[in-house]
A and B are shown apart, each in its own frame.
Chain A
Amino acid sequence: MLLPPTDSKIVARRAEIVDALRAIVPDGVVADESGLATFDADALSAYHQTPLVCVLPSTREQVSDILKFAHSQGVPIVPRGAGTSLSGGALPREDGILIGMGRMKRILEIDYENACVVVEPGVTNLNITKAVEANGFYYAPDPSSQVACTIGGNVAENSGGLHCLKYGLTTNNLLGVTIVLPGGEIVTLGGKSGAQGGLDLLGLVTGSEGLLGVVVEVVVKILRKAPVTRTLMASFDTVSAAGACVAAVIADGVVPAAMEFMDGRAAEAIESYNQPGYPKGAEAILIIDADGVEADVAHAISRVTDIVAQCGGKTVEATDEKQRTRIWSGRKAAFAAMGKLAPDMICMDGTIPRHALPYVLDEMAKLSDKYQLGFCNVFHAGDGNLHPLIIFDIMKPGEFERAEKFGADILRLCVRVGGVLSGEHGVGVEKRDLMTDMFTTVELEQQGRVKCAFDSKGLFNPGKVFPTLSACVEQGHIHVHGAQLPQPHLPRY
């Protein structure tokens, strides 16, 4: 995967650019080789690029000044939160300023009267919950990386998590954001009232993957913790029985707080990794959380238990909080546990209509044969969000390339059955060149024009999300040139 060609003229001006940034953030410019090495990749670690320079602002004014400078000088900007993106959203550029938001990590206000928290972008997802949990509240979106990932990155990626089906993604849990636009202007969208008085730009900016601006403040909703949460584990002899069970639960009108699927191979690896007590010998396991008031939860648990039995599965319920935590700690460690199976893995992220689940699982098994690579499945079954994990050994010639092709075929399969390339990890660089499989040229141009409305110079996170470099030209109105074909010089994913 290559990004758009490096502008050597910018690279040649590096010293001057570093000086200019030091004038804005005297103690927050990383320009030495070893310092920059820390920032050369995000969690899509197969791709590396040392940035031109990294700057770590502490205030929104500094962010604004940095962007004004970059804008006036035509220097690309790559925003970065904690660098946990699985899609390469924060992959740096050789000719671009990496703007790391980690220093802006203050919780500015906790407002229980309005059940919201005002934070800077560098606050981690989990720290929002930690700040309010003593009062019985929490912040609902819970991506597995919540210990490390920051709310600014969550806004950029519209992060999901285990509990999206019931509680929504980041976008459904935001009341407002303040962003700095590519030209350095600071705008606030929404706020504690949630109202915007015009177009829903808050909704547009959320999930825009750092293409439209830099988030400097976020107002999130917090929710009261449910009084009761119960957890069931269901095991099945076949993967397709588990898939059918998922569809049956949803069709029954039960909305579980979480419904996670893992296949036997994943469960085995996790079991040997941190012993959460998963049933042995099952071909597929579902972990199901029901939360709410006691009677609601009792109803959901009894319905799910019946449905699992009808689908030929067996259920075990966690007897106490300790066991619940253990069951979930296994799921949350799924990626780490894959190290038991092979040295390397890539994690895919498509969403499919739930009814297509058995078919997609079968097709993935065929692809596994075709590419001669193992894989296992861990995913958010309730909302149809698949995370197939392709395992390989990067030291074996050709395996990485095969793994990438396997992954791309899985995502195309998702699109073919009416699904999408990304349910929660974002497009980034990873799925960029597959966008043409999901969207028509007209649709990509339409999105490209929206990008231009914010970033007329195309300086923000260039080479991410969209397979083409669109140039915005003012001609009485904004339009896009030459967006018909993917960049011919860029290799396909």
Chain B
Amino acid sequence: MEKASNESQVADFVRAARQAKSSFEIVSGGTRRAVGRPMGNLPLLDVSGLSGIVKYEPEELIVTARPATPLAEIAGVLAEKNQRLGFDPADWSQLLGSNGVATLGGAASADASGSGRLRHGGARDSLLAFSAVNGLGENFRGGAKVVKNVTGFDLPKLVCGAYGTLCVLTEMTFRVYPKPQFTATLCLSDVTPETGFAALRKIAHSALEPAGLAYLPASMMPDVGQGAALIKLEGAAKPLEEKLAMLHGLLGSVAGRIDSDPFGAIGSGRQFADLPGDVWRVMIAPSDAPRIAKELYVRHWLGDWAGGLIWLAAPPSDAARIRGIAASAKGQAMLLRGSAESRAAYGLYAPQLKPLADLGRAVKAAFDPLSLFNPGRLA
């Protein structure tokens, strides 16, 4: 394992790897190494030294940090100015059985958003600019450190969710958002998936700006009858009261307030950490959620993002079936946690068809022609 702690060390390493035509795996906190198609025993580039906040400009609504900055560190610094990251970065370490530290770069590279994605979108919607080293060993920047920019191609979108297959990130600038003073979590108990998801969609499409909308069946939450619709609202004191009143008007029934905030566990997949089998995230059109949940026919599942995301645990033998159901709904089934065999057989996503697959490969080659970075991980 080699360590690179600044941009020029990264570039040196990449140029040497290029010379030797030797692919490598990029590692920082290491919490997400078990996600994606296994790459075999490749040399490692440890970039955990590329850590720390470079510049935080609360009045510009931006923060610039190196990618290995721990999520907890950045959340703490932003909270001091009553701000937060927009994409609700999710820490999957417990689900994936890792003792590592979840980082900013890892969360963005894995497009890992929790329940709060509803509110301000994913990492792609918040990453304004980055610096990186491409597969030619060149330093380059994408985007710009301002909140509104259309100059040139929108490369920050591409690096989010690319799982480190395009470049080695060395610096990232995110848009930040004001952090609401208060939150309220409510629970609508004993509702079927049909009723529960319908209520959640109604809220999603209201002016309430919810920060979490999930449905949990009885198997995932005790004492809720058939299942529970969970709702998280936020705001300053008075607006929050107003939103709660509006919510009850909207639902026509009273959702009970609960003291705990289950959304942290939902967004990070912790509810599935101790369950056996593979863990999937299936992204679908929200209105398909009740039907897809039924078709999936597994005991352990839940629906986040008002139904747009179904989490589930299933035996490895279910993999092809799950992919088929997702495809029938024009969705995507992502194998988040699986044995090396499952991941080798099924990859992170279903294989893309031509011509899309060719296009993806060509874009990858535009950054990393020799496929030095995390080869095959996203394939």
Chain A contacts to B: CB under 8 angstroms: 111-115, 137, 157-158, 160, 164-165, 168-169, 171-172, 181, 183, 185, 187-189, 191-204, 206-208, 224-227, 247, 250-251, 253-255, 292-296, 298-299, 351-355, 380, 383-385, 418-427, 431, 435, 438-440, 442-443, 446-447, 449-454, 465, 476-479
Cα distance A114–B285 in the bound complex, in angstroms: 7
Give chain B nearest CB distance to A373 CB in angstroms: 24
Task: Decide: B148 and A385 in contact? CB cutoff 8 A.
Answer: yes
Task: Decide: A477 and B141 in contact? CB cutoff 8 A.
Answer: no
Chain B contacts to A: CB under 8 angstroms: 57-61, 82-83, 111, 121, 124-125, 134, 138-142, 144-158, 160-162, 166, 177-178, 201, 204-209, 235-236, 238-239, 241-243, 246, 283-287, 308, 329-332, 334, 349-350, 352, 355-356, 359-360, 362-367, 369-370, 378
Contacts of B204 in A (CB 8 A): 115
Cα distance A465–B149 in the bound complex, in angstroms: 14
With A193-B284, A225-B207, A247-B59 given, name 11 new contacts (CB 8 A): A171-B157, A197-B349, A198-B360, A201-B363, A204-B157, A296-B239, A351-B146, A420-B149, A422-B150, A440-B140, A479-B369
Task: Decide: A295 and B148 in contact? CB cutoff 8 A.
Answer: no
Contacts of B59 in A (CB 8 A): 247, 250-251, 354-355
Task: Decide: B150 and A158 in contact? CB cutoff 8 A.
Answer: yes
With contacts A351-B149, A352-B146, A383-B148 taken as known, whether A450 is within 8 angstroms of B366 at the C-beta atoms is yes
Task: Decide: A199 and B150 in contact? CB cutoff 8 A.
Answer: no
With contacts A250-B59, A299-B239, A440-B140 taken as known, whether A465 is within 8 angstroms of B308 at the C-beta atoms is no
Residue from B149, B246, B331, B369 with most neighbouring chain A CB atoms (10 Å) = B149
Task: Decide: A421 and B147 in contact? CB cutoff 8 A.
Answer: no
Cα distance A454–B365 in the bound complex, in angstroms: 12
Cα distance A185–B207 in the bound complex, in angstroms: 40
Q: Give the nearest-CB partner of B141 in chain A.
A: A443
Give chain B nearest CB distance to A150 CB in angstroms: 17
Q: Specify which of A158, A247, A299, A439 is in contact with B238 (CB 8 Å cutoff).
A: A299
- Give 27 CB contacts A-B under 8 Å: A113-B287, A158-B154, A160-B150, A165-B147, A168-B125, A169-B150, A171-B125, A195-B283, A196-B332, A198-B378, A200-B124, A200-B160, A206-B154, A254-B178, A293-B207, A295-B242, A298-B238, A351-B147, A354-B59, A384-B146, A418-B146, A420-B149, A422-B151, A443-B152, A446-B142, A477-B370, A478-B369
Lowest 10 A-B CB distances belong to which pairs? A203-B157, A477-B369, A195-B283, A251-B59, A453-B362, A192-B285, A197-B349, A449-B366, A113-B287, A195-B332
Task: Decide: A295 and B331 in contact? CB cutoff 8 A.
Answer: no
Cα distance A426–B125 in the bound complex, in angstroms: 19
Give chain B nearest CB distance to A481 CB in angstroms: 14
Cα distance A354–B350 in the bound complex, in angstroms: 43
Cα distance A183–B243 in the bound complex, in angstroms: 51
Q: Specify which of A183, A427, A446 is in contact with B367 (CB 8 Å cutoff).
A: A446
Task: Decide: A354 and B285 in contact? CB cutoff 8 A.
Answer: no
With contacts A421-B151, A424-B148 taken as known, whether A199 is within 8 angstroms of B330 at the C-beta atoms is no
Residue from B148, B150, B207, B332 with most neighbouring chain A CB atoms (10 Å) = B150
Cα distance A158–B329 in the bound complex, in angstroms: 28
Residue from B57, B146, B283 with most neighbouring chain A CB atoms (10 Å) = B146
Q: Specify which of B156, B178, B242 is in contact with A253 (CB 8 Å cutoff).
A: B178
Contacts of A196 in B (CB 8 A): 332
Task: Decide: B355 and A181 in contact? CB cutoff 8 A.
Answer: yes
